[in-house]
Chains A and B, each alone.
Chain A
Amino acid sequence: QVQLVESGGGVIQPGGSLRVSCAASGVTFSTSGMHWVRQAPGKGLEWVAFIRFDGTYEDYADSVKGRFTISRDNSKTTVFLQMNSLRVEDTAVYYCALKGGDNYKWGYFEYWGQGTLVTVSS
């Protein structure tokens, strides 16, 4: 079965950097687009970033554009989110999600990881 396991969350000061990872198994990762979605404590869901299966296309929410970078290593079936210039408002659980819908540009979120908590605080 599909498994997505995030790691790398933690407490970081405002202005700092952090990289979170998501290891996938049970899926043909090299043909799967991947997303990051976040959820601030007690709040709703916010899409963050998307990367195409081959890494040739990326897309970002305006709130993170220029600060966050999504990347992937298909040989390690892992997707990353590099977060720079972190702000207090970036505090959230960060979920990776597998793109659903083969013929869709972005697709829906077919499978989700359990999430990793990133806390930005001084």
Chain B
Amino acid sequence: EIVLTQSPGTLSLSPGERATLSCRASQSLSISYLAWYQQKPGQAPRLLIYRTSSRATGIPDRFSGSGSGTDFTLTISRLEPEDFAVYYCHQCSSSPLTFGGGTRVEIK
């Protein structure tokens, strides 16, 4: 099983600041198989990024993904009020499909 470890667990930032979220895989992943999701309280998750760096439909360009091998990053260039949420990375390279434990981005 591929374990995904996200850090930090919580990120406290102000609107307008840059957020950098990390996801580390227990084994090397092709960039094709890493995705990121956003979840707000009481809502279903929403796909943000797939194939490491491709933005899903309707996702603003302040969200970007990068990485390779075992280290992947989601960057939010300038936080908007609606970006404060929990973010999960996910691998679909092998079964069982797994998620990281999540990073909560909260208002400082």
Contact B92 A104 (CB under 8 A): yes
Docked CA distance A101–B47 (Å): 12
Docked CA distance A47–B94 (Å): 12
Contact A110 B56 (CB under 8 A): yes
For residue B84, CB closer than 8 A to chain A, the reply is: no
Known: A62-B96, A108-B90. A45 touches B45 (CB 8 A): yes
Docked CA distance A44–B50 (Å): 19
How many residues on B have C-beta within 8 angstroms of the other chain's C-beta atoms?
24
Contact A46 B99 (CB under 8 A): yes
Best-buried of A101, A106, A108, A109 by chain B (most CB within 10 Å):
A108
Docked CA distance A108–B36 (Å): 9
Complex contacts, A89 vs chain B, CB 8 Å:
none
Contact B44 A95 (CB under 8 A): yes
Complex contacts, A109 vs chain B, CB 8 Å:
35, 37, 45, 47, 90
Complex contacts, B56 vs chain A, CB 8 Å:
110
Docked CA distance A47–B89 (Å): 13
For residue B98, CB closer than 8 A to chain A, the reply is: yes
Complex contacts, A100 vs chain B, CB 8 Å:
47, 50
For residue B88, CB closer than 8 A to chain A, the reply is: yes
For residue A112, CB closer than 8 A to chain B, the reply is: yes
Complex contacts, A114 vs chain B, CB 8 Å:
43-44
Docked CA distance A94–B101 (Å): 17
Contact B45 A95 (CB under 8 A): yes
Complex contacts, B47 vs chain A, CB 8 Å:
100, 108-112
Q: Mark B23-59, 1 if CB is under 8 A from A, else 0.
A: 0000000001101010100011111001100001000
Report A's interface with B, CB cutoff 8 A.
35, 37, 44-47, 50, 59, 61-62, 95, 100-101, 104, 106-115
List, sorted by A's number, 12 A–B pairs whose CB atoms are closer than 8 Å. Answer: A44-B99, A44-B101, A44-B102, A45-B99, A95-B45, A100-B50, A104-B32, A104-B33, A108-B92, A109-B47, A110-B47, A114-B43
Report B's interface with A, CB cutoff 8 A.
32-33, 35, 37, 39, 43-47, 50-51, 56, 88, 90, 92, 95-102
